[in-house]
Amino acid sequence: MVNKKQPVDFEALLSTIDAAFPMVQILDKDGKVVNKDIMPDLSDDQLVEIMEKMVWSRILHERSMALARQGRLGFYAPTAGQEASQLASHYAFVKEDVLLPGYRDIPQLIQHGLPVSKAFLWSRGHSLGNEYPEDLNALPPQIIIGAQIIQAMGVGIGLKKRGKQNVAFTYTGDGGSSQGDFYEGLNYAGAYKAPVVFFIQNNGYAISTPRHKQTAATTLAQKAVAAGIPGIQVDGMDALAVYAVTKQARDWAVAGNGPVLIETITSRFGPHSTSGDDPTRYRDQESFDYWEQRDPLIRYRNFLTEKGIWSEEKENQLIEKTKEEIKASVTEADQAPKQKVSDFLKNMYETPTQVIAEQIATFEAKESK
């Protein structure tokens, strides 16, 4: 037998790649600091603010589930479990940065300036939900998985051409990283050195399809290598780690170094969406138990309580206040006027075409009856 050396050691190659994407973590699952060297520079007030946003988001989630069950909301994609991934990442951006959310990224969109009542109108399917003021630097939630990635790339290139010190940031899920547009967006942003921060929120499932059926890649962060850009894998249940890597990525992008890909390892505690998905068909109880023990709120709460800057009383006050605000937002959404087809027709083109003008006249006659 000839024992000739192979030209390339494939096993060594793969393990070298995997080794380059360790999971960044600052707080362990009990809220103990395990990596104080990379602790972000945040004041006590800022640390508390991140907790407030996460608690707010959990309550928004619980109320949204209840409202959807009552038929008072339409499409809703649950967010519980992803608070650190969504809210702590958003906390690293500024109002002038441009957000391109996926359909599960409503909490970031609201934090970026979208009124809660509009988020509810979007869920119900009302045009007012997407009527954004000019200074809201965001697009409505994207339904076509991957489209937000190529568009964020375009926005980033636009920001760079305008000489702005801002970034575009966008989110997709683990399933979304299999799309062509995901790769194209990263690759273009790299080629143009565009200021974009891309997030993969890896919650383990794309509807019922587990993460390991999407790709043979050990991490999703390593997909950045294909675009020649930095990729980071972070504990997505750890608010401090998510904030720290997002801040670093934003600083890097704003400084003109190009885009960054961040994979947050997270979980959704509920179904894929309220449109009839039953996660017990494809996930066992152990999986839910495992992740609920890693609840971002529990560990961050422990961390803040230990520091003496958070209390049960404070949290309960915040919960009550949030519930009241959500109630008011539902009432506001209820008051939206009935949608008119003539308005839809008027929003097709700047100037209606002849055929559309005819249809406007037809519908206005019907609507005035």
Positions touching other proteins (CB under 8 A) are: 98, 127-128, 130-134, 139-140, 144, 147, 149-159, 161-162, 168, 180-181, 184-185, 187-188, 191, 343-344, 346-350, 353-356
Q: How far apart are CA 211 and CA 307, in angstroms?
A: 36
Question: Looking at beta carbons only, is 60 or 345 nearer to other proteins?
Answer: 345
> What does the chain come to in residues?
369
Fill in the amino acid letter for 285.
Q
Instruction: Specify whether 268 is catalytic.
Output: yes
Q: How many angstroms separate the CA atoms of 146 and 173, rounded?
A: 9
Catalytic entry in 61, 272, 294, 299: 272
Contacts for 262 with CB less than 8 Å, ≥ 6 apart: 89, 197, 198, 199, 200, 221, 231, 232, 234, 245, 246, 249
In the bound state with other proteins, the residue whose beta carbon lies nearer, of 290 and 344, is 344
Angle at 311 between CA 309 and CA 314, to 5 degrees: 100
Q: Say how far apart CA 120 and CA 135 lie, in whole Å.
A: 20
Beta bridge partners of 367: none
Burial 316-343 (b: 16+ CB within 10 A, else e): eeeeeebeeebeebbeebeebeeeeebe
Rounded-to-integer distance, Cα 150 and Cα 299, Å: 35
Q: Residue 183 CB: number of other CB atoms within 10 A?
A: 17
Nearer to other proteins, 190 or 271 (CB): 190
Nearer to other proteins, 60 or 227 (CB): 227
What would you measure as the largest C-alpha separation in the chain, in angstroms? 91
Query: 86 Cβ partners below 8 Å, 6+ apart?
Result: 57, 79, 105, 107, 108, 171, 201
The least CB distance from residue 259 to other proteins, in Å, is 13
Tokens of 23: 């999971």
Q: Is residue 272 annotated as a catalytic residue, yes or no?
A: yes
Residue type, 313: E
Phi-psi group of 293: left, alpha or beta (phi > 0 → left; psi -120 to 50 → alpha; rest → beta): alpha
Say how many C-beta atoms besides its own lie within 10 A of residue 239's C-beta: 30
Catalytic position from the list 126, 250, 268, 299:
268
Active site amino acids: 268, 272, 282
